[in-house]
Amino acid sequence: MRKPVIMLECRFPLFYCTGIDVLKARRDSVPDLGLHLACLALSLAVWSATVLTLRYTIKLLLSYKGWMYEARKGGISLKTKIWGMLLKTLVGGPPHRLYDFQGSLPRIPLPALDYTINKYLESMKPLLSEEEYRTRQELAQEFQSSALGRKCQWYLWLKSWWSTNYVTDWWEEYVYLRGRDPLLINSNYYGIDALALQSNRQASRAAYLLYATFQYRRSIDSQSLPPLLIQNMIPLCSRQYERMFNTTRIPGVETDRLDHFEQSNYVVVLCRGCYYVLEMYSHTRLLTPPEIEAQVEWILAQTPQPDPGEDKLAALTTAERKRWAVSRRKYFGQGLNRASLRTIEKAAFVVVLEDRSYELDPSNPAKFDEYVQSLFYGTGCDRWLDKSFNFIVGANGRVGLNVEHSWADAPVMAQFWEVILTHELCQNVYTPEGRINASITDKLPPTPKKLQWELSPEALEEVEACVQLASRSCKDIDLRLYVHQEYGKHFVKQCRVSPDAFIQMALQLAYYRDAGHFALTYEASMTRLFREGRTETVRTVTEESCAWVRAMDDPDKTDDEKRELLRDACRIHQDAYLASMCGYGIDRHLFCLYVVSKYLRQDSPFLDSIFKDKWRLSTSQTPHNQAYWMDARKYADHICGGGGFGPTGTGCVQVADDGYGVSYLVTGEHMVFFHVSSKHSSPKTDTTRFVEHIKRALRDLRNLFPETIAK
C-alpha cells in the first residue's frame, strides 16, 4: 500500500513529504531550551552593561567640579557647557526617587600628602609666632619625608578604593560615638520656629506638624522624596536620611552605638513629667490631624502624678556617656524599667509638650534668649537627648527641635524642618481660632498609654545626681539669639562678595576686637557631592583675612584699600570653601592620617601637635530654601530662623572652653540670625559683649560701601 502523501503550503513552491517527514518537521520546530537560556543571558548582559555604563558615565560626569569655580567667576567655558548638556540629558527627566543617584555618586578624593601639609602650614602661619611656625614646619617636613607619613598615606589610598568613603565611618565612630563627654551642650543642637506663628493652640499645632512629620517619614520610606539637586541636575548624597526616624544613640562604656528600627508607628510624649505612648496609626492608616489633635488634647487634660523619679528621668541622658551606660545596664535591665526604656528608644521620636509659652519678638531680645535656651537644654531633665530628635511644643504653639548629632548633619534636619513648615503655610490648616480645620470622621484609636517605672532608691539617687550635674552645665552656658535687621543678602550681593564670606569676615573682625588676637576658626562645609559625604572644615583665618581685620582699625588705611583687602579675603575664603566641598579640604585628611598612625601604634609629633590645637571660634551657616518650594523674599517671616550649638561646636576634634560657638542664617534679603554661645565660667568670653562686637563689625562693613547703601 502506498503511504499517504501530505502536501504542505509555504512560501516556497509546493513540496511533498511523507508522514514521517512531517513528524520530523514538527520536532525540529519545538524551541530549543538552550537557545532560550542563551537569549535570556544575552538580554541580562546587555541590560547590565547598559545600566553599568550609564551609572559610571554619570559618576564620571559628577566627578567634574570645574563648574563650581566657573560659576563663581561668572564665565562658563565650552567644556563646562558640553558637560552640563551631557549631564542634564542623563540626569534630567521626571522627579527622581530619593536614592536614585546613590550608586552614581563619586568617591571622595584623597588629597596628596604634600598638598595637605602645605595647606595646613599656610593656614597656621597667621596664628603662630615665627619661632612656633618654624618648629611646626620642621615637624611637618619630618613627617612628610618619613616612612610613617608614606605608610599612613598608602593605607588611606587603599581605604579610599575599597571603602565607599574613606572618612565617614571613622568620623562617626571616633568624633561622635567614642566621645565620652555628655551630649548636653557638647553635641546636640537645636532648631527654632519661623517668626510668623500659624496657630497659638498647642494641641492643634502639635497635631498638624506631627501629621506632616509622619508624611515626610513615609516619603523617605517609599523613596518618593526627591533627592536634593544643585541647579536641578547635580545630586547630593541622601544616605543621612535613613536614620532620621526610629533611631536612638545607645550609651556604651567605651563607645556608643546607633540603633535604628525599621518601623515605629508611635511617638513618646513627655508632658508634665509623665511619658505617654501616642499611636499614630489606626491599623495601617495614619491618623488625620483632627484625630491627632484629640489625642494630644487628652494628654494635656491628664493630671497624673509622675512615678517617683519619672519627671527627672531624662537627666540620665545628659550624663557623661560611660556613666549613663553603667546606669542603663544596672537599673534598666529588666522588668517595667526595661520595657518602658525600650519603648522610648524604639519610638519614631520624642515629643515634649511644655507648660511655658515662647515668644519670638524682635523688639524683645530677652524673649529670644529664653526661647533658644529652653530648646537647647530645657530644665536639664526634660529632653531625651539620645533620640534622633525631640519635637518641642510650647504652650502657645511655638515649636522647636533638639537634635542628636551623630546620625546626620544639620542640613538634613534643616530641609525636613523647612518642608513641614512650608506645608503648614501652604495648606488651609487652621480655623481663625487656631484649631485644626477639619473634623473627625472615624472612630478614635485607644487613648495614649502612660509608661510605668519602678526606680529603686539607688536609681533615684543617680537620677538626682545627674540632675545636679546637668543644672550646673546649663547655668554655665551663655546663649543668645541676635536678629540683625539692618541689611541682609541683597546688600551683600551688591557689594560683589559672597554672603557667607562676608559674615565670616565680620566674625573675624568681631573676635579680634573681643579677644585682641586671632584664633583658630572652624567653619563647617558639606561634602555631600560625594557618596556618604558629611562635613569638612574651612579654616577661616588666612593672611588675607588678618590683613583686612587689622586695616579696619588702622586710621591710615582708606576705604578703597579696606574694600580691596576685604574682597581679597573673601575670594580666598570662597576658594577654600569650594575646595572643601570638592573633597580637597585638609582637616578630614589629617584626622584620618592620625587614626592610621594610632592603628599602627606609631606616634607622630607632627600629628600630635595638630590635635593639640584648640578651635576657639566654631561657626556654621544654616542652609535654607534647599527645596526651593517657597519664595524666601516674599515669606521671610515664615522661614525657620536657623539653630545653634554650644561653644564646643558639634563636629570639632579639639575645642576650647574659652571659645565661642556661632551659627548664622542669612534669610530673605534683609535679615540675618546669629546664635551665639560661650561659657560663663570662662573669664575670657562674654556672649553679650561678643554680640555687640558682631553688631559693630556689621555696621563697619556696611559703611565701607556707601554707594550700595544709597541704592
Which tens digit of pLDDT belongs to each residue from 534-557? 999 999 999 999 999 999 999 999
Q: Please, what is the average pLDDT of the chain?
A: 90
- Are 393 and 202 in contact by the 8 Å Cβ rule? The answer is yes
Q: Which tens digits make up the pLDDT trace of 314-349?
A: 999 999 999 999 999 999 999 999 999 999 999 999
Between residues 213 and 67, the one the model is more confident about: 213
User: CB-based contacts of 339: which residues, under 8 Å, 6+ apart?
Assistant: none
Q: Given this model, what pLDDT does residue 667 score?
A: 83
- Are 454 and 340 in contact by the 8 Å Cβ rule? The answer is no
The answer to whether residue 29 scores a pLDDT higher than 70 is no
User: Which residues are part of the catalytic machinery?
Assistant: 405
Q: Which tens digits make up the pLDDT trace of 214-223?
A: 999 999 999 9
User: CB-based contacts of 299: which residues, under 8 Å, 6+ apart?
Assistant: 269, 271, 276, 278, 353, 448
The answer to whether residue 46 scores a pLDDT higher than 90 is no
Residue type for 257, please?
A: R
Residues constituting the chain: 711
- Kindly indicate the confidence band of residue 32, based on its pLDDT and cuts at 50, 70 and 90: confident
Q: What is the largest CA-CA distance in the chain?
A: 129
* In the block, residue with C-alpha cell 501629621: 211
- Are 277 and 343 in contact by the 8 Å Cβ rule? The answer is yes
Q: Given this model, what pLDDT does residue 11 score?
A: 37
- Nearest one of 689, 229, 205, 686 to 415, comparing CA atoms: 229
Q: Given this model, what pLDDT does residue 28 score?
A: 53
DSSP letter, residue 602: -
Average pLDDT for residues 384-396, to the nearest whole number? Answer: 97
User: CB-based contacts of 611: which residues, under 8 Å, 6+ apart?
Assistant: 594, 653, 654
- Are 603 and 597 in contact by the 8 Å Cβ rule? The answer is yes
- Are 289 and 429 in contact by the 8 Å Cβ rule? The answer is yes
Q: Exposure of 144 by Cβ count < 10 A (0-12 exposed, 13-18 middle, 19+ buried)? A: middle
pTM: 0.91
Looking only at the bridges linking them, the beta strands covering 15-17 and 229-230 are unpaired
Q: Which tens digits make up the pLDDT trace of 668-703?
A: 778 899 999 999 999 999 999 999 999 999 999 999
C-alpha cell at 263: 518601623
Average pLDDT for residues 92-119, to the nearest whole number? Answer: 91
The answer to whether residue 232 scores a pLDDT higher than 90 is no
- Are 398 and 193 in contact by the 8 Å Cβ rule? The answer is yes
The answer to whether residue 18 scores a pLDDT higher than 50 is no
Say which range, 66-75, 196-205, 414-423, has the weakest mean pLDDT: 66-75
Q: Over pLDDT 70: what percentage of the chain?
A: 92
Q: Over pLDDT 90: what percentage of the chain?
A: 73
Q: Given this model, what pLDDT does residue 639 score?
A: 78
The answer to whether residue 92 scores a pLDDT higher than 80 is no
Report the interhelical angle of 78-91 vs 33-62 (nearest 10°). Answer: 140
Query: Can you give the C-alpha Rg of the chain in angstroms?
Result: 30
Looking only at the bridges linking them, the beta strands covering 615-621 and 655-667 are parallel
- Nearest one of 318, 299, 338 to 210, comparing CA atoms: 299
Residue type for 130, please?
A: E
